[in-house]
Amino acid sequence: MKKIILCPNPYRDKGFRGAFAAEKQLKEMGIETRMCLPFSVDKNFELPRKAELYELADELPGSDLLICFGGDGTILHSSKQATYNNVPILGVNVGTMGFMAELENHETELLRKVVEGEYTIDERIMLDISVRRAGEVIATDLALNDAVITKGAVARIIQLSILCDGTEAMNFSGDGVILSTPTGSTAYSMSAGGAIVEPGASNIMVTPICAHTLYTKPLILSDQRQVSVRIGKLGRKSAYLSVDGGRAVKLNTGDLVIAKKSEYKTKLVRVKNISFYQLINMKFKNS
Average pLDDT, the chain: 93
Of residues 13, 42, 58, 72, which has the active-site annotation?
72
Sorting pLDDT into bands at 50, 70 and 90, what band is 279?
confident
pLDDT: which is higher, 129 or 109: 129
In this prediction the pTM is: 0.93
The predicted pLDDT at position 144 comes to: 97
Q: How far from 230 is each of 137, 200, 250, CA to CA, in Å? A: 14, 29, 14
Mean pLDDT value across residues 45-54: 90
Confidence category of residue 6, pLDDT binned at 50, 70, 90: very high
Mean pLDDT over 64-75 rounds to 94
pLDDT in tens, 129-175: 999 999 999 999 999 999 999 997 666 889 999 999 999 999 999 99
287, pLDDT greater than 60: no
User: pLDDT class for 98, splitting at 50, 70, 90?
Assistant: confident
> If you average pLDDT over each of 19-28, 101-110, 151-160, which comes out highest?
19-28
CA 147, CA 156: separation in Å to the nearest integer?
20
Helices and strands in the chain, H and E counts? 6, 18
> Mean pLDDT throughout 201-220?
94
Mean pLDDT score, 37-47 = 89
Q: Is 165 a catalytic residue?
A: no
3-state secondary structure of 114: helix
pLDDT beyond 80 at 284: no
Tell how far CA 116 is from the center of its chain: 28
Of the chain, the percentage scoring pLDDT greater than 70 comes to: 97
Q: What is the pLDDT of residue 194?
A: 96
Q: Is the dihedral of CA 264, 114, 90, 287 positive or negative?
A: positive
Please report the pLDDT score of residue 220 as a whole number: 97
Q: What is the largest CA-CA distance in the chain?
A: 62
- Burial-class residue 124 by CB neighbours within 10 Å (0-12, 13-18, 19+): buried
For residues 181 and 144, the answer to whether their CB atoms sit within 8 Å is yes
How much is the pLDDT for 286? Answer: 59
